[in-house]
């Protein structure tokens, strides 16, 4: 199964880069292992399988966004902790000596730092367990599932009654292999998120109290200043060093293996399908324009594929955003900052990269889009089929340009023929050259796309 969608786990461990070849850093190897296990789960829980074109980096990015949304939502448990601290603050105010108060306040910062260190170490242990390669090559199960099954078999003959704590954390069911790695079993991921949220909230309150309550006491002596420095160092280390690590490890350990976030997977797949659809429409539009130029079909730049009513509708929307061009008198266009609003009005949603490509393609050298090119482009969306005459014209024109006389008119278009012809396409279509050159490979080889954190993986995949 691993060979069908990319490299095997053994190949990942032996990946190299550079000249002379050097082994990949462990972080990148762990990322490759996570991605491989994500695309090739040992236990398939759904008929819907992911192929190697799935953008795992986009999935992790969306998981990060959702996690931050969960962190900023203060849950009732956090307010409960705050209420307990308010009650304890009553005893804190009864302390007569100011330096003792400051020392007690310092203990809260040390406690927050200690909790965050313990959480980081636990999540790091879980992460290393999840990405650990399997010890046996015959078994496809990951290491953590192997270990969990061995523990279940070892305790099968023992009659152990559940404690009240186990019932509170897991209910009536047993935690699976992934959940059992966390504190509190099935409630472990939620408990870890609660620790992150509560410690971050308390640290913000801690800094506010420190500034408004203890900063005026700096003139009391050197011992007070020393206590203040210690009081501010611990939570500062926690916030700037440990909290980012804990959040990163939490996202990684709760988004892979048996804790996949299905709704985010569907969002990423929808974005991939939309991007591919947009690519195909632009391909059709480019080939149509190229065919018209071959056939010398001059129609004043306006596609006949658009019906009159549809063209009038687009013209009305275009008039809402178009302005006079300051550099070309008599020319009206839609500036780049309004291009997204225009396409949303006509029913097309595009990301920032696609909009930049369209501005280059449809702007005729301007920082925006002009009407004639835009209407011609939208013709590809109203009718995605090429006429037989257009197909024959494009195919023959590309097939006859092969420098090898034995390859001319052989009814086969190679990658070299396709790229060579697109390099000769007029400038109005040149913005698609780089996107369309690898088209034969795009149609036959899974297309991989990674963020900057996985560029090394992309080069070796």
Tokens of residue 165, six digits: 């704590």
Confidence (pLDDT) at 248: 94
Tens digits of residue pLDDT in 81-100: 888 888 887 787 788 887 78
Handedness of CA 235, 240, 245, 247 (dihedral sign): positive
214 and 106 in contact (C-beta within 8 Å)?
A: no
pTM: 0.69
For 297, other C-beta atoms within 10 Å of its C-beta total: 13
Tens digits of residue pLDDT in 154-201: 877 676 777 878 888 888 888 888 989 999 888 999 999 999 999 998
* Residues of the chain below pLDDT 50: 1-5, 298-305, 383-384, 426-461
Torsion of CA 75, 80, 81, 87, to 10 degrees: 150
Tokens of residue 413, six digits: 């278009």
- DSSP element (H, E) containing 391: helix 388-399
Whose CA is closest to 335, among 367, 365, 360? 367
Tokens of residue 199, six digits: 């410690």
The number of C-alpha atoms within 13 Å of 333 and in the hemisphere containing its C-beta is 21
Q: Where are the domains of the chain?
A: 55-260, 268-454
Tens digits of residue pLDDT in 98-111: 778 888 888 889 99
Tokens of residue 348, six digits: 């097309």
Report the alpha-carbon distance of residue 136 to residue 128 in Å, rounded. Answer: 17
Torsion of CA 446, 451, 454, 459, to 10 degrees: 50
Report the chain's terminal Cα–Cα distance, integer Å: 16
Report the alpha-carbon distance of residue 274 to residue 370 in Å, rounded. Answer: 24
Look up residue 181 and give its DSSP letter: G
Q: Would you list the DSSP string of 119-170? A: HHHHHHHHHHHHTPPPS-SS--S-HHHHHHHHHHHHTSS---PPPHHHHHHH
Report the alpha-carbon distance of residue 305 to residue 386 in Å, rounded. Answer: 10
Report the alpha-carbon distance of residue 206 to residue 220 in Å, rounded. Answer: 21
Confidence (pLDDT) at 119: 95
């Amino acid at each position: 199964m691993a060979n069908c969608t990319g490299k095997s786990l053994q190949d990942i461990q032996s990946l190299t880069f550079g000249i002379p070849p050097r082994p990949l850093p462990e972080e990148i190897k762990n990322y490759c292992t996570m991605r491989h296990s994500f695309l090739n789960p040992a236990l398939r829980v759904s008929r819907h399988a992911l192929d190697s074109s799935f953008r795992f980096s986009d999935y992790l990015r969306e998981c990060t966004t959702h996690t931050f949304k969960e962190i900023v939502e203060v849950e009732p448990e956090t307010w409960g902790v705050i209420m307990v601290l308010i009650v304890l603050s009553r005893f804190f105010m009864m302390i007569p000596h100011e330096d003792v108060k400051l020392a007690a306040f310092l203990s809260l910062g040390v406690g927050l730092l200690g909790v965050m260190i313990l959480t980081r170490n636990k999540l790091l242990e879980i992460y290393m367990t999840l990405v650990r390669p399997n010890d046996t090559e015959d078994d496809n199960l990951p290491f953590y599932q192997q270990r969990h099954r061995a523990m279940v078999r070892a305790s099968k003959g023992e009659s152990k009654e559940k404690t009240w704590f186990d019932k509170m954390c897991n209910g009536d069911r047993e935690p699976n292999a992934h959940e059992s790695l966390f504190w509190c079993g099935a409630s472990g991921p939620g408990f870890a998120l609660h620790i992150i949220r509560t410690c971050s909230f308390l640290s913000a309150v801690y800094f506010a109290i420190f500034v408004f309550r203890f900063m005026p006491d700096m003139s009391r002596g050197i011992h007070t200043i020393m206590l203040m420095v210690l009081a501010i160092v611990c939570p500062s280390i926690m916030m700037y060093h440990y909290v980012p690590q804990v959040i990163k490890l939490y996202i990684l350990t709760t988004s892979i293996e048996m804790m996949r976030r299905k709704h985010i997977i569907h969002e990423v797949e929808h974005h991939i399908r939309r991007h591919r659809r947009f690519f195909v429409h632009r391909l059709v539009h480019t080939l149509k324009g190229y065919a018209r130029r071959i056939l010398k079909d001059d129609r004043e730049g306006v596609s006949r594929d658009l019906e009159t009513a549809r063209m009038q509708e687009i013209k009305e929307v275009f008039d809402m955003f178009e302005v006079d061009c300051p550099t070309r008198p008599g020319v009206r266009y839609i500036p780049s900052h309004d291009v997204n609003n225009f396409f949303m009005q006509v029913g097309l949603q595009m990301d920032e990269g696609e909009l930049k490509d369209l501005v280059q393609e449809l702007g005729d050298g301007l920082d925006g889009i002009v009407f004639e090119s835009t209407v011609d482009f939208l013709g590809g969306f109203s009718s995605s089929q090429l006429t037989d005459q257009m197909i024959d014209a494009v195919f023959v024109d590309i097939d006859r340009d092969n420098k090898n006389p034995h390859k001319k008119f052989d009814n086969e278009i190679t990658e070299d023929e396709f790229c060579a012809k697109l390099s000769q396409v007029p400038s109005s279509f040149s913005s698609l050259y780089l996107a369309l050159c690898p088209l034969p490979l795009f149609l036959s080889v899974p297309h991989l796309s990674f963020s900057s954190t996985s560029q090394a993986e992309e080069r070796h995949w």
